[in-house]
Amino acid sequence: MQRLLDILAALADPTRMKIMLLIRDIELAMGELAEVLDQSQPRVSRHVRILAEAGLVRRNKEGAWVFVGLGHNVPTAEIYALVDSLLAGRDIIAAERARLAQVRTGRQKAVDSWFDAHAAEWDLIRGLEAPEAAIDADILAAARGGSVGRLLDIGTGTGRMIELLGGDATSAIGIDRSPEMLRLARAKLAEGDFPIAEVRQADMRALPFEPHSFDTVTLHHVLHFADDPASVLAQAARMVAPGGKLLVVDYAPHAREDFRSRFQHVRLGFEDAAVIGWMNSAGLQADVAARHHGPELTVVLWQGRPA
């Protein structure tokens, strides 16, 4: 009974109701909420705190920013259905939606600017690899083996794996240490309409989830940034549910020494035996699912399933 009263009390305020409607399909930073609501940030923070105490929203800190999203342990679908029926088609956040559109436009400009600034680097690397479409097709095929289900993308970057696999997933979480990359991912995923997806700041060496929580776990061009790839794979393997799989996409050994200084790659690719051995040590049966040779770089897809 108390939980019900807490939820109803939290919703009994026009601003808090607007916050719930605004974050229905997109996470917003506290500053963005203040801008969209045209209120001071301390006032908005107070409203968010009340909603969080009722479990209706959660707050994710990413660097100096705090993002607000829907809580996981409340019946949000039922709450929104009730709200929609009581509003009878009235849009009580029409003005806020207009300001929200401006916020989303600003996010997209940041994405475009980042890719413009890094276009030369991406073009160089892609020119050394096999065609991206062929690699993506094999990732999709491996992910769909047994269904994608609950997806965890470790080192999500701009959210590309969620874009690729999210349509087949029942839920999708992308984690990354970089607040900048998470803001880019959030903007891209919002533009692509992935309501089941969320991104969080977290370290791939200390994943903040219960073991065996995901059906598909991906590491897409992430392992070469790790100075301890075995422990990173062990962390990822712990997340795989029975019947699930871990998919690792990265380079075979190569001689591009300039990648260390130019792109901060710690490892210049991996031998099959090393990756498969690390997966086996983490309790997975592993093999090579696909190999794509490019002009200079070979991209390998390794997969592991609980033994």
- Give the model confidence (pLDDT) of 262-307 as tens digits: 888 888 899 999 899 999 999 999 999 999 999 999 999 999 999 8
Select 129-306's CATH number: 3.50.50.60, 3.40.50.150, 3.40.1130.10, 3.40.50.2300.
Answer: 3.40.50.150
Q: Could you confirm whether domain 2-103 is CATH 1.10.600.10?
A: no
- Distance, in Å, from the CA atom of 215 to the CA atom of 217, rounded to the nearest integer, reads 7
Place of tokens 């979480």: 173
Q: What is the token pair recorded at 47?
A: 């409203």
**Where are the domain boundaries for CATH 3.40.50.150 in the chain?**
129-306
Which H or E run contains 273?
Answer: helix 272-281
Average the pLDDT over 163-168 and give the result. 93
- For the cut 70, the answer to whether the pLDDT of residue 131 exceeds it is yes
**pLDDT, position 130:** 86
pTM recorded for the entire structure? 0.73
Render pLDDT for 66-78 as a digit per residue (tens, 0 to 9): 888 888 778 888 8
Render pLDDT for 9-27 as a digit per residue (tens, 0 to 9): 989 999 999 999 998 877 8
User: Any residues with CB less than 8 A from the CB of 299 and at least 6 apart, and which?
Assistant: 129, 130, 135, 249, 250, 251, 252, 291, 292
**Where are the domain boundaries for CATH 1.10.10.10 in the chain?**
2-103
Return the minimum-mean-pLDDT range out of 22-26, 209-213, 253-257: 22-26
Cα dist. 61→192, 194, 258 in Å? 24, 21, 34
Could you give the percent of the chain with pLDDT greater than 70? 95
